[in-house]
Structure 1
Amino acid sequence: MRCFRPPGVLFLGLFMLATVNARASDPTWLQIRSPHFRLITDAGEKRAIEVAARCEQMRSAFLMLMPKATADDPAPLLIVALRSHQEVDELAQGRGGKLRHAGIFLPGSDQTFILLDISDGPWRTVYHEYAHELLHANTSASVQMWFEEGFAEYFSTLKSSSKGIEIGEVPIGELQFLRQNGKLLRLSDLVRVNQNSDVYNHNGPLQAAFYAQSWLLVHYLFDHGLINRAQPFFSAMAAGVPLDQAILDSFRIKTEKLEQELLVYARGEKFRYFSLPAVIAGPSPDVTVENLNLVTVSALELEIHWHGRTEHSKVDAMALAADYTSLLRRDPENTAALRGLGLAYLELGEYQASFDGLRHAVQRDPNSAVNHHALARLLNAIDIAGLQDAHPEFSVEQEAQACTSLEPHFADVYRLEALALAARGNFNEAIAMMRQAIALSPRMESYELSLADLELRKHDYVPALALLHQLENSRDPEVVKRAEYFLSSDVQEAVPSGH
């Protein structure tokens, strides 16, 4: 994420979220669709179309630079382009105090959101946040925070013209800060920074140093042809390999030497960048623009607000259901509000009310993969509760197939289909389907836990236990807790000797 930066100052901060409220002036909201992006905005058609065009350019450039990578979104992506950083701040107040935000990246298994202030010179922020999405689709959960932000800053300086695209140019502010500061963080301190660290969450010199050095190290890795060694480094550290050994094994250099080289690199005058062929600029003939009514906007705002919270209570779900019910009084056929209400009732365990809302949403908009996914989630919950006979004309597989016909790379759909196959005893197919979900969304350790569970149920102990031991080293306490449960003595006793 990128925070609002006063002139000459580099301040970035934590991803944060709250709800966007309709303004007193009731601005016109538009939905823009380009070949690979969906965007909603209150900032005007011209600028929003340019944001979509810039994202299309960056997507093409990324695939040229990294042809073995993917640019497919693991979950449907919605970009929310706003008129000011104050609007983004209103989305951020719930989780982080007084930081001023220029952009926020919010990944999820059902939808991913990028929130942007596009009021003035927004392109570095646009590229930075979209770089997070590209990295999210291509790397595991072991990736460290310095690489997350350094990679995003590396791509944020993308420049495009009729002559070509340049990636990896120097962000002058970061470089000036490093040179004025005159020293770098120790690598042992850099790799410990995470999303909960004070360095990451509080504006000040240490935070500025973290972001600047993160950019510097990523640029160094690109410049020295070492970028493909980053993932093995993260995997080694996640497995408990000490920092010095992980650096030596992955980058073929000692820690002290790398720190010295980074300091010299920061003082140097030559920073290489990639020059790529031009990508056609300007609006695509495939771009569509449509007006959004305020009920749809309000429903999407509620969805983003819910999505951004890490914990939800029954009281929260009841309040959410009440909010969606209020919106449906204004527009009873609103698809976004119907879906939201159905998902709120799903959280409350009220399956029939959830089914009524989600079925109606699918009927109103059968071309929405998000609608089909929501209904598939409900049907999976109904199956788990043993209530399959309640709606025999509907099935998880039916909704999953409808969803993947619209969004073939929607990872969570494959997870739901895997669970449905396993419920019928088709473990081989279920395992293959779960592996597909992991391949499409490698950050989702919950999918790996589900895979291990399926392998244990199939009595395929060796890969299951190896995966569970790997997940014991997760940075997510809940993942660790679940992995330890599977590896508890009761589970281990079920494993035949020799496995």
Structure 2
Amino acid sequence: MGIKGRIGRTALALGVVTAGVPAEATWMRATSTHFVVYSDSNAEKLRAETAELERFDLLMSAFSQRFLTDVTDAARNPDRAFNKVTVYVLPSIASVQQFARMKDVAGFYVPRVTGSIAFTPRQSDSVGENALSPRIVLFHEYTHHFLLGNSTLALPAWFSEGFAEFASTTAKRDDKYWIGVPAQHRAYGLLEMDKQLTMGQLFAPPASMTSEQTEAIYGRGWLLTHMVMFDPVLRSQLGKYLTLLNSGTKSAAAAQQSFGDLKALDKRADAYLKQSRVSALPVSASILPQPVVDVRALTEGEAALIRMRMESTRGVDGRTAKPLWAKAKEAGARYPADPVAQGWLAEMAYDAGDLEAAEAAADHAVAADPTSSQGLLYKARVHLARLVAAKSHDEAAWKEARSWIIKANRAQNNDAAALALFYQSFQMQDAKPNKGAVAGLYRAVELVPQDMDIRFQAAQQRLLDDDVPGAKALLRPLAYNPHADSDNPAARILAALDAGKGGRAALEAAKEKSSELTKDGPKSGGKDGS
């Protein structure tokens, strides 16, 4: 079955308006199985929007099980409930760009062990059939989170972005959801820039592309993905291509071996685009369970700090951390008994290097809520930072600092941030991690597989444990990450392992820090946050 829909020729235009978060807005917080959403929407509207996100997650789980052979059964994975995405809904695309610190984005997603986040606009800066709607933006970003968390293989740029585009247009018509609706918002890239990126060029590394070709990845990636999803033969060829790619074959060579003549594929794609009808998969809305969504207004303390919290969790540096903390400590001083607000303050003070204030805020958070993960972990971070600065060899002091992490873990057994920090505390001490710390690191990766830095740490530990197969499984998505250099540390380690080197010797192939693994900012992780 299909929905009538031909890609129109109206160019997509993204205007820029004055950015900002209205100071007078009444902010609400919605919580569901896989999401925490902050918005200044009214309660019922926010509840409905969050429920739609949960339904989208259900649709992606069902669709991927049917059409993608390399994706795990997300619906049966209980760990996903401990890896919620926190979504911040901003007034406009310009507001999102302000937080992204980039001009050419309409929304962005940051995966990390301390809590993945996404920023999305409430309304588009454009109107009409080809407008980039907020729903499309958010669905696109969440699809990245879904694939990173459930795919067992590394995905190339064209498919990572193409499938996100494919899923993002999921729409409800009457009593059905339709997956694979035409990507009208990519009309300009598909029809006016169609010669910028042939199918053969689509399989090249993004680093070798021009800016115009990089932009065209979204549209051409959607086109090829759409073709593949509704053609069993092409889906089989995709499976072969991904297997070859994850075995070390270069993308272009893997594509030729899998899809055959790429010029013929290009002609087929052009003909596919010109069809008057394209396929879409219908799913009856009645078979989807009603999501449970809790909505509440922010406390006075949370409301006073929400703008600063968004700046903090997006990420700060040496230039921005102190000015942000100066604003936050004044705004939050009136709410010493608010555990969430005090947890946010502890993080901002810590980032600014004010350890005394960070510990005081953490103490306030824990006093108000003994299970406050943020309070307990920032108490630990402060103590660890002092020990590192003092170059301490006092084993009792290190044990005391770790006791706060243990308390956080006992309060929330599946808090990946606590598990990761416990392991990292041994690195800070320059000590060998104990078995519990290593097990905790591996568990953190299971809980938040999207965090590339934690994945890289776990791969290194696997090599130290002489678990080469386990290390390779962790390294492949990093080595073939479309946003990383082709000669990234993970790729060098894999090459060394394939050349017959042992685990420890292979580690010498990657001297640079794991932060080199990604290059594109918003999707590459960032500072701690929760």
TM superposition score normalised by structure 2 = 0.71
Match of 2:129 in 1: none
Match of 1:333 in 2: 337
Question: Are the counterparts in 1 of residues 373 and 408 from structure 2 also a CA contact under 8 Å?
Answer: no
Following the alignment from structure 1 to structure 2, what is the Cα–Cα distance between the partners of residues 238 and 493? 19
Opposite residue 127 of structure 1, the aligned amino acid is F
Opposite residue 412 of structure 2, the aligned amino acid is C
Match of 2:10 in 1: 8
Match of 2:42 in 1: 44
Question: Are the counterparts in 2 of residues 418 and 433 from structure 1 also a CA contact under 8 Å?
Answer: yes
Give the direction of change, closer, same or farther, for the CA distance of 1:77–1:383 in structure 2 (3 Å limit).
farther
Matched, 1:105 2:105: no
3-state SS of the aligned residue for 1:137?
helix
Structure 2 matches for 1:135-284, cutoff 5 A?
135-139=147-151, 142-160=154-172, 163-174=175-186, 178-179=190-191, 183=195, 185-192=197-204, 194=206, 199=211, 209-225=216-232, 233=241, 236-237=244-245, 240-249=248-257, 251-279=258-286
Match of 1:414 in 2: 419
Following the alignment from structure 2 to structure 1, what is the Cα–Cα distance between the partners of residues 243 and 153? 9
3-state SS of the aligned residue for 2:342?
helix
Following the alignment from structure 1 to structure 2, what is the Cα–Cα distance between the partners of residues 318 and 265? 54
Which of the residues 409, 418, 427 maps onto 1:400? Answer: 409
Question: Are the counterparts in 1 of residues 365 and 375 from structure 2 also a CA contact under 8 Å?
Answer: yes
Match of 1:203 in 2: none
Matched, 1:434 2:441: yes
Give the direction of change, closer, same or farther, for the CA distance of 1:269–1:22 in structure 2 (3 Å limit).
closer
Matched, 1:290 2:292: no
Structure 2 matches for 1:454-465, cutoff 5 A?
454-455=461-462, 457-458=464-465, 460=466, 462=468
Matched, 1:70 2:74: yes
Opposite residue 331 of structure 1, the aligned amino acid is Y
Question: Are the counterparts in 2 of residues 379 and 396 from structure 1 also a CA contact under 8 Å?
Answer: no
Following the alignment from structure 1 to structure 2, what is the Cα–Cα distance between the partners of residues 116 and 126? 6
Cα displacement (A) at 1:46: 3.7
Question: Are the counterparts in 1 of residues 376 and 408 from structure 2 also a CA contact under 8 Å?
Answer: yes
Give the direction of change, closer, same or farther, for the CA distance of 1:213–1:331 in structure 2 (3 Å limit).
same
Following the alignment from structure 2 to structure 1, what is the Cα–Cα distance between the partners of residues 401 and 224? 56
Give the direction of change, closer, same or farther, for the CA distance of 1:466–1:158 in structure 2 (3 Å limit).
closer
Opposite residue 271 of structure 2, the aligned amino acid is V
Match of 1:358 in 2: 362
Matched, 1:114 2:118: yes
Opposite residue 420 of structure 2, the aligned amino acid is R
TM superposition score normalised by structure 1 = 0.75
RMSD (CA atoms): 4.5
3-state SS of the aligned residue for 1:395?
helix
Which of the residues 298, 305, 311 maps onto 1:305? Answer: 311
The total of aligned residue pairs comes to 465
Following the alignment from structure 2 to structure 1, what is the Cα–Cα distance between the partners of residues 308 and 203? 35
Question: Are the counterparts in 1 of residues 206 and 214 from structure 2 also a CA contact under 8 Å?
Answer: no
Which of the residues 319, 326, 329 maps onto 1:322? Answer: 326
Match of 2:452 in 1: 445
Aligned residues with identical type, % of pairs: 20
3-state SS of the aligned residue for 1:394?
helix
Question: Are the counterparts in 1 of residues 161 and 217 from structure 2 also a CA contact under 8 Å?
Answer: no
Opposite residue 261 of structure 1, the aligned amino acid is R
Match of 1:16 in 2: none
Deviates more, 1:189-198 or 1:394-403: 189-198
Cα displacement (A) at 1:216: 0.6
Question: Are the counterparts in 2 of residues 411 and 437 from structure 1 also a CA contact under 8 Å?
Answer: yes
Give the direction of change, closer, same or farther, for the CA distance of 1:182–1:453 in structure 2 (3 Å limit).
closer
Match of 1:125 in 2: 137
Question: Are the counterparts in 2 of residues 345 and 353 from structure 1 also a CA contact under 8 Å?
Answer: yes
Q: Cα deviation per residue 1:356-407 (whole Å; 9 max; x = unaligned)?
A: 3223223324565555555565566577665664546933233123233xxx
Structure 2 matches for 1:25-64, cutoff 5 A?
26-64=24-62
- Unaligned 5+ residue runs, structure 2? 1-7, 66-71, 125-132, 507-530
- Unaligned 5+ residue runs, structure 1? 1-5, 14-18, 201-205
Following the alignment from structure 1 to structure 2, what is the Cα–Cα distance between the partners of residues 455 and 360? 39
Cα displacement (A) at 1:288: 2.5
Q: Cα deviation per residue 1:113-139 (whole Å; 9 max; x = unaligned)?
A: 222222476433332232232223224
Following the alignment from structure 1 to structure 2, what is the Cα–Cα distance between the partners of residues 478 and 379? 39
Question: Are the counterparts in 2 of residues 317 and 344 from structure 1 also a CA contact under 8 Å?
Answer: yes
Q: Cα deviation per residue 1:441-462 (whole Å; 9 max; x = unaligned)?
A: 334332233224434554x274
Give the direction of change, closer, same or farther, for the CA distance of 1:292–1:103 in structure 2 (3 Å limit).
farther
Q: Cα deviation per residue 1:441-492 (whole Å; 9 max; x = unaligned)?
A: 334332233224434554x2745886798666765469945987998xxx98
Opposite residue 421 of structure 2, the aligned amino acid is L
